Every structure is written in structure tokens, then in C-alpha cells.
Chains A and B, each alone.
Chain A
Amino acid sequence: MKKAKADLLQGTLELLVLRLLRSGELNGWDIMQRIQLVSSEVLSVTPGALYPALHRLEERELITAVWGSSDNNRRAKFYRLTASGRKQLEAERATWERFSSAIDAILRNA
């Protein structure tokens, strides 16, 4: 039961990362800040979870990395979506939407 919960969270985090990279390149720090900002501080992710997630996504070639200058002029590793990443994002979003409608339906009618 505990393992299933961890997997769900892992998958959700990866989906969030893919979504955030849809509009451009971001480094790990930016991604963490965005998740908090965009969710109005409701969601937060620990770097200990985020970096392994980024590396898993990179290994699966859903994102790719390039080193560049951050906004404070330091070297940082930026990630961007690959073509398969974009496809995956669409597939996951569709699944997520079906899943959350199903949940809504249950919550309304139960």
C-alpha cells in the first residue's frame, strides 16, 4: 500500500515537471520555485525528490539537458522537453483528466 502511494506521487511529480517544461527551459531550482508559485504555495516538492525525478525523466529521454547561464550568471543545468516528452505529456494529461473526472463523479454521487 505504501509503495503504491510513493509511485503515484513519483508519477505526479514527473507529470508536473513535463508540464512546466512545456513552455521553455528551466533548471531544477526554477522548477521547484514554479511548482510553489503556480500552485499558490499549496504544493511543494523537496529537492531530494525533484532531482531524482529529473534524472529519471532524462534517462527516459522525455527531457534533455543543456548547461547554460542562470539569471544570476552562474552555470546551471537546464532541462527542456523532447518530442517524446511532449507526446508523453499529452498522453498523461488525458489520463489525468479522465482520472480526476472519475473522482469528481464519485465525490458528487457517493
Chain B
Amino acid sequence: MTGTFMRRLRALFLKADLDRELDEEIRFHLERQIELNVSGGMSPMDARYAALRSFSGVEQAKELCREARGVRLIEDIWQDLRSGLRMLRKNVGFTLVAVLSIGLGIGLVSTAFSFINAAMFRPLPLPDSGKLVRIQDDNFPAYSDYLAFRDGTDVFTGLAAYDFDNFNLQSGSTGGRVGVAKVSGNYFDVLKARMALGRSFSTDEDSAPGGHPVAVLSYGLWQSRFGSDPGIVGKSFTLQKVPFTIIGVASREFQGVTLGWRHDLWIPFAMDAILHQENNLLKNPDSYQVKVIGRLKPEVEFAQAQAAIKLIAAAQDKVAKG
């Protein structure tokens, strides 16, 4: 046991180094592209957006790099390790980060994006985005933390969780890799994101593991892969050979709330139990990390919500240590 543990630990440190190097390599490229854009006449804000878009999915590109290096195997080992061990979490002071006057948030709080400052962000193309907040720290909260924040506070009208993944999509005779956001049932409601066609998820569509194989397409994917078919609602496709039914198409301007991740479609988080049977948030709620975004109640002040979150975070820490 000790032998395997040490090997896995060493592999973990190696992954962290490789990840840091990958981040730095990509960041260098982004900075050069931004400089080029600015010297070509773009505003700094547009320059940064254009640089990120030139990757058509920075996070996907990084995933491909990791896959090329076989680092994904290490990630799997790490997930096994964490679900096997009781995690002694340090006293994390989860912070509420106001999304709005910030606009599009960065999904991964990593050093890769430290050069991006507030000037880069635009307001989100969503109604009342002023009341949207994220909950994050150096790490993202575990799914069980998210549930505690959601159910143990009274400051949000809704708190949503989401994560990203890549899957193979097959529809008719065409197929390909797509960028997928796995989201809690209330995600679209919390964001007040509008649909171009059909509807978005209802909260009970995220209850049973694998119970609701439904999906919302991005406007872009609907155009590129499904030929802007006006009768698309009700049709199906497969992800990793698992069938999904299309219930809606997001509005043209909605592209998720994370820069650098190409959102091709959205599925309920509970479907991850089928797509990743060995390791998913329902199986490992204490170690599976999620991104969290929520809407403050109109009468709630930022500081008040911050205090409520800190209280829950402290309680969660006690549970973890105990």
C-alpha cells in the first residue's frame, strides 16, 4: 500500500508541474497574440477576447495536450486516491466573487490567466447579471460543499453547479468531439439565460442518475452540426454512444459563463453518472470539484452573502476533519 501510495503521490506532483508548464506555455502564446492584436489597432479588451477565441477553446486545447502526454491517466489515479482517502482540507475561506461588473468569469482560477485584469471583462449578455456571484477559492468547492452552500444558506434565489468535459458526439452519420457543460438542473434558471428554441432544464431533470438524457444545444452547434433545423427539438444524438434528446437551443448570444471553454451543448449533471461511471459527482461528492454560480436575492448585500458562505465553509471544514 505504501509503495503504491508513494508512486501515486509522485505522479501527482509530476502532474502539477506539467500542468503549470502547460499553463505557462499557453499563457506566453496568448500574451504574444494580445500584443499583436493591440499593435494592429484593437482595444486591450477586444485583443484579449480575440486571442482567447483564436484557440477556439483554450481548455480543450490544454486537454488535448494533456491527453497527448498521457497525463490524463494520472488524473484518474488522483481521483481514485481522493475518493479512497478522507481529505483533510485546510481552512478554506471560500470567496464570493462578483461576476457582474466583471462579466464573463474565468472558469479555472489558475496562474495561466493571472494577466487578465478587470478591463477585459464585458457585462454578461444576461438579464440582471448584477446579482450573479461565483463561489471559489484557490480550489473549486467539492460537490458536497456546493450542496451545503445551496441548502444551508438563505441568501440565494438559486445556486447552480457546473463542470466541463469533452465527449464524442454522433448524430446520423456525422460525429466529432464536442465541448460539453454538465450543469445542475437550475443552471439556466439561475442565469436567466434565454432559449432560441424549445426549453431549458427543469430542476427535477437533474435528480436521478442517468434519469433524464436531455440536452440543450448551443446556437453555434445547432447551426454547424444540425443545419439550423427548425424542427430540432425532440430529435436525438449520442454522446459516447449514450442517447440524448434535444429539448432546446440556447439563444445566439448565450455562450456559457466561462471564457476559454467552447460550449457546444449542455446536459444535466446527473447524466455524468452514466458517462463517467467510475468517477462522477454523485459517486464521489467529497472529492469531485464543481464550479459554482448563483443569484443573490434582491435584498441581500454582497457582504451578507459572503458571511453566510464563510460560515458554511467553516462548518464543512469541521465535517471534513472530524
A residues with CB within 8 A of B: 2, 27-29, 32, 46-48, 51-52, 54-56, 58-59, 67, 70, 72, 74-77
Task: For A54, list chain B residues within 8 Å (CB).
Answer: 65
User: Quick check: is B68 within 8 A (CB to CB) of the other chain?
Assistant: yes
For chain B, what secondary structure do more than half of its interface residues adopt (helix, strand, loop), or is it mixed? helix
Task: Render B33-61 as a binary contact track against A, CB cut-off 8 A, 1 for contact.
Answer: 10000000000000000000011111011
In the complex, the answer to whether A29 meets B29 with C-beta atoms within 8 Å is yes
CA distance A28 to B67 in the complex (A): 18
Task: For A28, list chain B residues within 8 Å (CB).
Answer: 25, 28-29
Task: For A67, list chain B residues within 8 Å (CB).
Answer: 21
In the complex, the answer to whether B61 meets A48 with C-beta atoms within 8 Å is yes
User: Quick check: is B24 within 8 A (CB to CB) of the other chain?
Assistant: yes
Give the number of residues in B that approach A within 8 Å (Cβ atoms).
Answer: 26
Task: Render B3-29 as a binary contact track against A, CB cut-off 8 A, 1 for contact.
Answer: 000000000000000000100111011
In the complex, the answer to whether B24 meets A55 with C-beta atoms within 8 Å is no
In the complex, the answer to whether A29 meets B68 with C-beta atoms within 8 Å is no
In the complex, the answer to whether B55 meets A56 with C-beta atoms within 8 Å is no
In the complex, the answer to whether A48 meets B29 with C-beta atoms within 8 Å is no
Task: For A32, list chain B residues within 8 Å (CB).
Answer: 29
User: Quick check: is B89 within 8 A (CB to CB) of the other chain?
Assistant: no
User: Quick check: is B69 within 8 A (CB to CB) of the other chain?
Assistant: yes
Task: For A59, list chain B residues within 8 Å (CB).
Answer: 68-70
CA distance A54 to B61 in the complex (A): 11
Task: Render B92-124 as a binary contact track against A, CB cut-off 8 A, 1 for contact.
Answer: 000000000000000000000000000000000
Which residues, 57 to 79 on B, are CB-close (under 8 Å) to A? 57-58, 60-62, 64-65, 67-70
CA distance A18 to B272 in the complex (A): 40
Task: For A52, list chain B residues within 8 Å (CB).
Answer: 61, 64-65, 67-68
In the complex, the answer to whether B174 meets A2 with C-beta atoms within 8 Å is yes
Task: For B55, list chain A residues within 8 Å (CB).
Answer: 46-48
Task: For B26, list chain A residues within 8 Å (CB).
Answer: 47, 51
Q: Which of A2, A27, A46, A48 contacts B28 (CB 8 A)?
A: A27
In the complex, the answer to whether B54 meets A55 with C-beta atoms within 8 Å is no
CA distance A58 to B57 in the complex (A): 22
In the complex, the answer to whether A51 meets B25 with C-beta atoms within 8 Å is yes
User: Quick check: is B231 within 8 A (CB to CB) of the other chain?
Assistant: no
Contact A46 B69, CB 8 Å, known A29-B32, A77-B28: no
Given contacts A46-B54, A48-B57, A51-B61, 20 further A-B contacts (CB under 8 A): A2-B174, A2-B176, A29-B32, A46-B56, A47-B29, A47-B33, A47-B61, A48-B58, A51-B29, A52-B61, A52-B65, A52-B68, A59-B69, A70-B28, A74-B28, A75-B28, A76-B28, A77-B24, A77-B25, A77-B28
Shortest beta-carbon distance, B152 to chain A, in Å? 40
Shortest beta-carbon distance, A20 to chain B, in Å? 16
Shortest beta-carbon distance, B56 to chain A, in Å? 5
